[in-house]
Amino acid sequence: MRWIRRLLRRRPEPAPQRTETPGQREAESALSRAVEARREVEAHRTTVDRIAARLARERETNHFADLFRAAFEGDR
């Protein structure tokens, strides 16, 4: 029981607060800008995916058109 009372009485002192350095402020600012940029990118992801899919379909269509044209012209 005595060791329990000793643990309860002995409280660690809180760590002293450090002053914020200019480097820390710059790092926090850069982190907040990066987080905001990521949120913006995530918000536009569906639009970008939809446009990329459309461009891929058009490229594939153009590729097949070129293949058919080459086959009819006798290039292949």
Q: How far apart are the first and last CA of the chain?
A: 93
Q: Which of 69, 66, 70, 48 is nearest to 58 (CA)?
A: 66
Q: Which residue has 């569906």 as its token pair?
A: 46
The pLDDT score that the predictor gives to residue 3 is: 75
- Do 76 and 70 touch, CB atoms closer than 8 A? yes
The pLDDT score that the predictor gives to residue 16 is: 78
Residue 12: both structure tokens together? 């660690």
Rounded distance, CA 37 to CA 40, Å?
A: 5
Confidence band for 31, pLDDT divided at 50, 70 and 90:
very high
The pLDDT score that the predictor gives to residue 75 is: 62
Q: Each residue of 34-72: pLDDT tens digit?
A: 999 999 999 999 999 999 999 998 888 878 778 878 888
Q: Is the pLDDT of residue 76 over 70?
A: no
pLDDT (mean) for 11-17: 76
